[in-house]
Structure 1
């Protein structure tokens, strides 16, 4: 019987597809569950990915250990494990205390291990185990194609969550649906076990005893480990690099992981011709796109983001194809997957744990790009030394590298952040040299590094030397001086987090979203009239502390900030002076604002300002019904809730309108376009929503609502725009797809 007609092949394919689908469906589902406890910082996802990789490694080690037994014994043990793991169903979060400030990096893995560790471990083992069982039949043939099916199932699970599952089902039903899928998987595994029940040493050779292939030595195993580690780390570093320094785009984390999984599908499939083409072009593409890996800002263009994603896919496919080429026979299948998984954990640990502690920028990305250059197969694209009949081309190669070094020096000397004129020529020379020396790895890696340095790399390195750039679990913050405009800026990647004028006499003027004509400015300027001279104010989100200069004598302010590093920046008068000069004695409560507000005594604030919305970073857990319950409890009778919803990618008006309608509150929005003619040019448009328990209180603030066509007037508030049938967000159900501004996903975003 030929391999394609081997017994029960569809059963094993289906079992692997279902298991991998469930494995990657549960990852974003649990990440969504954890939102109310921590928020949605990119580092949270990186930490979660590291946990998943560690559990995957454990599952692969377990599958490898099972290989010493007959298939019958393996099936009994594994089915028993699946039954024990079912005690953790339906999927939910473990009840453990919230993290102390600064302990998030440790708390997230602990929570995930306690919540889904056993289930994830048991399901993760089924892919290599099913391949081992499949290969136990001597007619089965090469089992490695099943790994492609496994990653195809993983990709389907990953994509289906934001596209279908989250928009259609609340978390409780998602958990029940996943549990039903687990039951299906158990039955499929049992059926696969029955199909191979009689296979064992007594009537067939097991994969551990079949053949005479020697056990791979430690050098070969180390090679596997490194080849697997680089794409895993590059997947996470690409996510961080894109969201930090290229363009902050919603759901961007899905794309690198999805492409990483698809690279396995292609590399472990029978499409060897396509894989070979990708292996051939990978070094050139790595040079062209990876040469920008040290660039401090990508200009916020989708073109640069797309190029980075293409590079990730091509490099991952080339490396995984090389890994497939180096694979052992079925006898050492589980050892191969075990080392591959260990490599994934190694790369993930470097990008998610080591890098944030060691680097003050996303330096892990260029490091991993260089590591990829050291490991990729390097075909000779332009065998010029053969065309010229040279026997000793190394002197010419060295001369070419020297030319690239000179071009890199010229780029560094005149770099202003963009390529134009002579810059294009020098960059083209470096790229051309890189293409000519691809065959010589030392020269190729050296030229790639020179291109990184010339292409903005030296300037990126210099910014980190003076303490004006810091990195925390929640982001990378850079303080820069614009001497031409007399401004000091705080940026989180491509997102402006605050700005202070350095013009004498104007240092404390409100800027950006917080001008006197903004919704928050109009409210805080009238606070003595609205709430008396001793008004109490809560501010969620510190930034540079711009709002603190609205505080007047006698008022009592409290600021909530999740990131201690941000508090250090705002308090440091050598960086920004809003806080030190206007409200130095204002308490700053560190931690998730929603959790901290819930701990306060009721009726604490006359005005509560929720200012945690910028770029694509929506702390979704701050906009749910349960979050507004906490805000309502914290407000005094007649209190005013202000929510900042300026956003490049999401229209949050329907969310706030649905919440106001659900509470019977009154709401209005101040659509401030920003001044048409500003002396300093540092006031930007903003959208602020005001919510009050009664129409009369809202009328006191707004002096009556105006038609929406007059929204740009100096002090105009207009009615909040809702959408019929829009479902109120809760901790159990919230989807960002209905409010996504699809047209803004393309183009340049400053």
Structure 2
């Protein structure tokens, strides 16, 4: 029996296992949305759990190496059968977290839900490579790792593209269970193919003597090279899911590119890997320069550039890691250290950074870490062209770094929030210097840091010393005064989240999406007419507390907010006074609004306002049939539900139009065009949908619907637009692809 005919079996086993492993990640993330919401930190916490389980699986595979293949196979298949008790995949029923406990509760929930299954499947990739190499005629097993990551990449990409849009969660879970059964059979077949082989570690004295055990220094090098791309993948994910949408489609992009980098680096495509290594320092300079930018950096083009940088840098670093790989007898140790590096990067980006930093400083730090570890092939060997002695070349490099420092200072002096004019010229000068010093690591890292400082980084660092910025599990919040405009603004990430006029005569006036001509402004102004002087109003999403000043004496208001930090900001009169001026006694319920509303007495509210968007991220779990059912239960029979759907990337009217149709409700939308005059920058356009089970109540609110072309008129409400064949969103099935506005993806970000 030759080794060659069995290669297909090991490749297939690894492909299937890795495909399943990375299908379950977005699937479980989708399952937990109703419990956890869509904060970027939820996905990062989930990724940390996955990396920890992957490390445990690799450690288990390494431990199995002390036994013969027969013993390994018996232990491994027994664990496969035991883990099957957790099938089909579902979410464990454990108590909801208290406020501020999400960072620990999310990992606990995921471990209880999929821990054993994920653990045993994660071990099969290194274990199959070990079994493959147990036959000395099999050849180099490392190329199988490329197959493993190709399967992982296919699993990730196929989920948002094929699985999520076409299958409900229950069908996804049973389909995954069938794949698990197939994997057990393939593992058993692979074991049979090597039943008489021995573990690589004990394959004879000659094999053991082939290469000594790698030194601790070499293992530390592996660890760091693996840690940086892992952390960079999570910090890139944080940006994408904060400013675009919290959904698997964008969760999986950074992870998918991260996995694809392994496919290239661990394959036989050495020329392609060399190309990535060659361009990586330049890409890191050009895109990494934006890593400290905290304003005006939220366009999709910047996000795509960040993804490109992640892919190039990860491929270059993983290619370097492959270059440093040991002989096959140390294969599982190598993968164990790699996995530990992945966990280390995940711990830093997902757990430590949010606790230590008030901004996403992990991203620029990891970018600099990549600069410290990347192979740095000289792009422009000017010192050799000029035949300069090494000492003279170092002096020239030192002078170039000094010039870069001067240019960075000039950029900081002229920075006005964007790269234009003289600032752009000085930035280009630093970039050129960076290209000239690529061959000197210390200078390259210093120039990259100076470029970051010049491109808005100094403002970012300064804000950390003012006390006006705070970070929580759910995001980064910055309060900034604009004296020339007479405004104080609250930003969530790079998106305006609240604004108050600082003039005492006008500080109670509603601003941004909540002006008097907005849908919510019109409805709350009429609350007394609609429901009497004691109207009960529920507000989901506090923000700066802007809506509070629509409250009239006698009305009973209850506010729901998931983030305790946001409550502290809104209640602090030194920051915003909407709450203290107008609704200081209104109770604030802290926690996920969907879960907390389910605990409210039925029929409590006359008006319920849902304004829980985080930047442009869709709170998908708040727009499903089950979520609307919870709101309906909390409303009085003739109550009005108001939902804020302003969004740059998704047209959500069909979602609510279909929900209203299915329930037999009446629905309308107020498309507020924004300020009537130029120069008024404290009001912004907004889209608010009103739904009610009582047509008469809708007529009272709207005064009758207008034609669509009249939507910009004062107080005009129009009918929602529906989409033929649009499928109702449920907790079990919801796809955002049908409502994605592709043309908006390349548009410039609104400030």
Q: TM-score range by the shorter chain?
A: over 0.9
Please, which of 265, 287, 290 is the counterpart of residue 289 of structure 1?
A: 287
Name the CA distance, whole Å, in 1 between partners of 2:624 and 2:426: 53
User: 1:247 touches 1:305 (CA, 8 Å); kept in 2?
Assistant: no
Q: Secondary structure at the match of 1:477?
A: strand
Q: Secondary structure at the match of 1:506?
A: coil
User: 1:293 touches 1:365 (CA, 8 Å); kept in 2?
Assistant: yes
Aligned pairs (5 A) from 1:252-263: 252-263=250-261
Name the CA distance, whole Å, in 1 between partners of 2:201 and 2:368: 50
Name the CA distance, whole Å, in 1 between partners of 2:339 and 2:265: 16
Deviation of 1:489 after TM superposition, in Å, equals 1.1
Aligned pairs (5 A) from 1:143-182: 143-182=141-180
User: 2:47 touches 2:346 (CA, 8 Å); kept in 1?
Assistant: yes
Name the CA distance, whole Å, in 1 between partners of 2:640 and 2:613: 18
Name the CA distance, whole Å, in 1 between partners of 2:453 and 2:217: 33
Q: Secondary structure at the match of 1:416?
A: coil
| 2:364 paired residue number | 366
Deviation of 1:348 after TM superposition, in Å, equals 0.5
Name the CA distance, whole Å, in 2 between partners of 1:686 and 1:434: 44
| 1:589 paired residue number | 589
Please, which of 19, 23, 26 is the counterpart of residue 25 of structure 1?
A: 23
| 2:304 paired residue number | 306
Aligned pairs (5 A) from 1:219-368: 219-244=217-242, 251-368=249-366
Q: Secondary structure at the match of 2:507?
A: coil
Q: Which runs of 4+ in 1 moved over 4 A?
A: 201-204, 206-211, 246-250
Deviation of 1:422 after TM superposition, in Å, equals 2.1
| 1:608 paired residue number | 608
Aligned pairs (5 A) from 1:623-702: 623-677=623-677, 680-702=680-702
| 1:422 paired residue number | 422
Name the CA distance, whole Å, in 2 between partners of 1:681 and 1:430: 35
User: 1:132 touches 1:207 (CA, 8 Å); kept in 2?
Assistant: no
Comparing 678-687 with 666-675, greater Cα deviation is found at 678-687
Please, which of 198, 210, 213 is the counterpart of residue 212 of structure 1?
A: 210
Name the CA distance, whole Å, in 1 between partners of 2:272 and 2:415: 38
User: 1:136 touches 1:204 (CA, 8 Å); kept in 2?
Assistant: no
Comparing 683-692 with 49-58, greater Cα deviation is found at 683-692
Name the CA distance, whole Å, in 2 between partners of 1:644 and 1:302: 22
Unaligned runs of 5+ in 1: none
Comparing 719-728 with 591-600, greater Cα deviation is found at 719-728
Name the CA distance, whole Å, in 1 between partners of 2:466 and 2:199: 66
Comparing 13-22 with 629-638, greater Cα deviation is found at 629-638
Aligned pairs (5 A) from 1:555-566: 555-566=555-566
State the TM-score, normalizing by the size of structure 1: 0.97
Name the CA distance, whole Å, in 2 between partners of 1:337 and 1:284: 29
| 2:99 paired residue number | 101
Deviation of 1:382 after TM superposition, in Å, equals 1.7
| 1:66 paired residue number | 64
1:476-530: per-residue Cα shift (whole Å, max 9, x none)? 1111122232211111122211111123411111111111111111111111111
User: 1:151 touches 1:265 (CA, 8 Å); kept in 2?
Assistant: yes
Comparing 124-133 with 661-670, greater Cα deviation is found at 661-670
Give yes or no for the alignment of 1:733 onto 2:733.
yes
Deviation of 1:290 after TM superposition, in Å, equals 1.1
Name the CA distance, whole Å, in 2 between partners of 1:131 and 1:601: 58
- RMSD of aligned residue pairs (Cα, Å): 1.8
User: 2:201 touches 2:330 (CA, 8 Å); kept in 1?
Assistant: no
Please, which of 56, 68, 78 is the counterpart of residue 54 of structure 2?
A: 56
Name the CA distance, whole Å, in 1 between partners of 2:13 and 2:548: 58
Comparing 669-678 with 541-550, greater Cα deviation is found at 669-678
Deviation of 1:675 after TM superposition, in Å, equals 3.1
| 2:570 paired residue number | 570
Q: Secondary structure at the match of 2:163?
A: helix
Name the CA distance, whole Å, in 2 between partners of 1:623 and 1:718: 20
Deviation of 1:16 after TM superposition, in Å, equals 0.5
| 1:124 paired residue number | 122
Name the CA distance, whole Å, in 1 between partners of 2:266 and 2:296: 33
Deviation of 1:208 after TM superposition, in Å, equals 10
Unaligned runs of 5+ in 2: none
Q: Secondary structure at the match of 1:255?
A: helix
| 1:546 paired residue number | 546
| 1:115 paired residue number | 113
Deviation of 1:663 after TM superposition, in Å, equals 1.5
User: 2:560 touches 2:591 (CA, 8 Å); kept in 1?
Assistant: yes
Deviation of 1:740 after TM superposition, in Å, equals 1.1
User: 1:614 touches 1:646 (CA, 8 Å); kept in 2?
Assistant: no
Name the CA distance, whole Å, in 2 between partners of 1:154 and 1:601: 46
User: 2:201 touches 2:329 (CA, 8 Å); kept in 1?
Assistant: no
Name the CA distance, whole Å, in 2 between partners of 1:201 and 1:155: 29
User: 1:247 touches 1:494 (CA, 8 Å); kept in 2?
Assistant: no
Name the CA distance, whole Å, in 2 between partners of 1:55 and 1:346: 13
Q: Secondary structure at the match of 1:372?
A: helix
Comparing 474-483 with 130-139, greater Cα deviation is found at 474-483
Name the CA distance, whole Å, in 2 between partners of 1:204 and 1:614: 55
User: 2:379 touches 2:435 (CA, 8 Å); kept in 1?
Assistant: yes
Q: Secondary structure at the match of 2:250?
A: coil
Deviation of 1:548 after TM superposition, in Å, equals 0.5
User: 2:538 touches 2:559 (CA, 8 Å); kept in 1?
Assistant: yes
Deviation of 1:447 after TM superposition, in Å, equals 1.3
Deviation of 1:429 after TM superposition, in Å, equals 2.0
1:233-283: per-residue Cα shift (whole Å, max 9, x none)? 011112224455x76686333221111111100000101011112111211
Q: Secondary structure at the match of 1:516?
A: coil
| 2:441 paired residue number | 441
1:390-433: per-residue Cα shift (whole Å, max 9, x none)? 22222222122111111111111221122223222221221222
Comparing 324-333 with 375-384, greater Cα deviation is found at 375-384
Name the CA distance, whole Å, in 1 between partners of 2:704 and 2:217: 76
Deviation of 1:685 after TM superposition, in Å, equals 1.6
Q: Aligned residues, how many?
A: 747
User: 1:295 touches 1:460 (CA, 8 Å); kept in 2?
Assistant: yes
Query: Structure 1 residues 708 and 87 mapped into 2: Cα distance closer, same or farther (>3 Å)?
Result: same
Deviation of 1:211 after TM superposition, in Å, equals 4.6
Name the CA distance, whole Å, in 1 between partners of 2:419 and 2:244: 19
Query: Structure 1 residues 25 and 203 mapped into 2: Cα distance closer, same or farther (>3 Å)?
Result: closer
Name the CA distance, whole Å, in 2 between partners of 1:397 and 1:495: 40
1:619-656: per-residue Cα shift (whole Å, max 9, x none)? 11111121122111111231111111111111111111
Q: Secondary structure at the match of 2:544?
A: coil
